[in-house]
Structure 1
Amino acid sequence: MRTTARWAATIGLTAVTVCGPLTGAAVAAPGSAPSSLYAPSALVLTTGHGEGAAATPERAVTLSCAPTASGTHPAAGQACAELRGAGGDPGGLKSGDDVFCTKLYDPVVVTVEGVWQGKRVSYERTFPNACTRDTYGALFAF
């Protein structure tokens, strides 16, 4: 019985010694974002004049929000923050109330395709004009 207890203790200590450093890398402090472990967030945004996806894209940008904001989007940091605030749903963004646009109808379509925190994103919206599109924040203003 004593030999079995010694072997069990030896195996247990060996496992802790060998595997201990591995578990430390996977555990992050509450509320912190580990730099090496994150769900992918990479999006391609397009905009163009016309109605629906049939409109020819006039401009396209990339946006990556993990581990840091980057890409060709001109305001990547602010766009990522807005998208985080909307839970990764571009449709959840709200128009700013302090901007007034004309009623001119010159439709502008915006598409967002890619992955947000490991989940597929496919979004399309037609705005009545570019001014209205830009009131929804930095995400669509490129």
Structure 2
Amino acid sequence: MRNTARWATALGLAATAVLGPLTGAATAAPGTSSLVLTARYGALSPLPADAIGPQVREVTLTCSPAVSGTHPDAKSACAELRRVDGDLDALQATPGVMCPMYFDPVVVTVTGVWEGRSVSYERTFGNQCVKNTYGSVFAF
């Protein structure tokens, strides 16, 4: 019996050592902040975000360890995200900006990691102008 318990313990530890790192593959280092932002048309489709419609634009945004990416104003976008601690719902429209009142929906999705936390975000804006009023994060 003792040998069986030892073998079971040894196999359990070996499995943990081999498979353990694989379970954490989706997480990143605590200070890492790297996002992919995508804008698409067609918010009213019942299909999933990947099948909504033609892709308008996709950019990358890395805020730490260093600011970089294909976002047109990565420095300002990272500063805005730091002010709200990566909470995309906390971003507000710029007051006083007037946009045309027509409905041409734009769906923005954001995926990645903010300060080591997984990010998965989706929001529908009435049109491109409305999207751009929410600061430099969504102005791409």
Q: TM-score, normalized by length of structure 2?
A: 0.72
Report the Cα offset of residue 98 of structure 1: 2.2
Q: How many residues align?
A: 106
CA distance in 2, matches of 1:118, 1:55: 31
Greater Rg, structure 1 or structure 2?
Answer: 1
Report the Cα offset of residue 38 of structure 1: 6.0
Uncovered stretches (5+) of structure 2, i.e. residues with no partner:
1-28
Q: Which amino acid in structure 2 is aligned with residue 72 of structure 1?
A: T
Match of 2:119 among 101, 121, 138: 121
CA distance in 2, matches of 1:131, 1:77: 21
Are 1:77 and 2:83 an aligned pair?
no
Say if 2:106 and 2:131, in contact at 8 Å, map to a contact too: yes
Say if 1:114 and 1:121, in contact at 8 Å, map to a contact too: yes
Match of 2:34 in 1: 42
Match of 1:86 in 2: 84
CA distance in 2, matches of 1:55, 1:140: 18
Structure 1 vs Structure 2 CA RMSD: 1.5
CA distance in 2, matches of 1:81, 1:124: 20
CA distance in 2, matches of 1:102, 1:112: 25
| Equivalent position SS for 2:75 | helix
| Equivalent position SS for 2:64 | coil
CA distance in 1, matches of 2:53, 2:137: 19
Uncovered stretches (5+) of structure 1, i.e. residues with no partner:
1-36
Match of 1:131 in 2: 129
User: Between the two proteins, what is the percent identity of the paired residues?
Assistant: 53
Say if 1:48 and 1:109, in contact at 8 Å, map to a contact too: yes
Report the Cα offset of residue 57 of structure 1: 2.1
Q: Which amino acid in structure 1 is aligned with residue 127 of structure 2?
A: N
Q: TM-score, normalized by length of structure 1?
A: 0.71
CA distance in 2, matches of 1:40, 1:69: 11
Structure 1 segment 1-142 matched on structure 2, within 5 A? 39-51=31-43, 53=49, 54-142=52-140
Say if 1:96 and 1:136, in contact at 8 Å, map to a contact too: yes
